Amino acid sequence: DARVTQTPRHKVTEMGQEVTMRCQPILGHNTVFWYRQTMMQGLELLAYFRNRAPLDDSGMPKDRFSAEMPDATLATLKIQPSEPRDSAVYFCASGLGGAVHGYTFGSGTRLTVV
């Protein structure tokens, strides 16, 4: 089965450090999302791309977060500087243009900022 690959699976870092999370969407999928999951807020949409172009990143704290798609096989989410409140599971999901087939999620990156 085709899958969305996220790395790293776990990341522990100190406050103030830069964190980069990577996502390889399913080949041929042209829509990529980044979600953050916490116990308090649940699943929140941070950003999404269509054909590598950012369409919406209104859910993302702009001062420290950035999301990019340097090519069709790689999406990145960067936090600089990281803070303890950024501790969460970050999911990448990909899909075809329409939502009819739903979206396939990666296994997530569990980020812990100490």
Partner 1 sequence: AQTVTQSQPEMSVQEAETVTLSCTYDTSESDYYLFWYKQPPSRQMILVIRQEAYKQQNATENRFSVNFQKAAKSFSLKISDSQLGDAAMYFCAFVNSGGGADGLTFGKGTHLIIQP
Decide whether 9 or 85 has the Cβ nearer to partner 1. 9
Q: Which residues between 52 and 111 bind partner 1 (CB under 8 A)?
A: 55-56, 89, 91, 93, 95, 97-105, 107-108, 110
- What span, in angstroms and rounded, lies between the C-alpha atoms of 93 and 13? 24
We find the least distance from the C-beta atom of residue 48 to partner 1, in angstroms, to be 5
Assess contact for 28 and 3: CB atoms under 8 A.
no
We find the least distance from the C-beta atom of residue 75 to partner 1, in angstroms, to be 14
* Helices first, then strands: H and E counts in the chain: 0, 11
CA atoms 76, 77, 81, 82: torsion sign: negative
Given the rule CB under 8 A, which residues bind partner 1?
31, 33, 35, 42-43, 45, 48, 55-56, 89, 91, 93, 95, 97-105, 107-108, 110
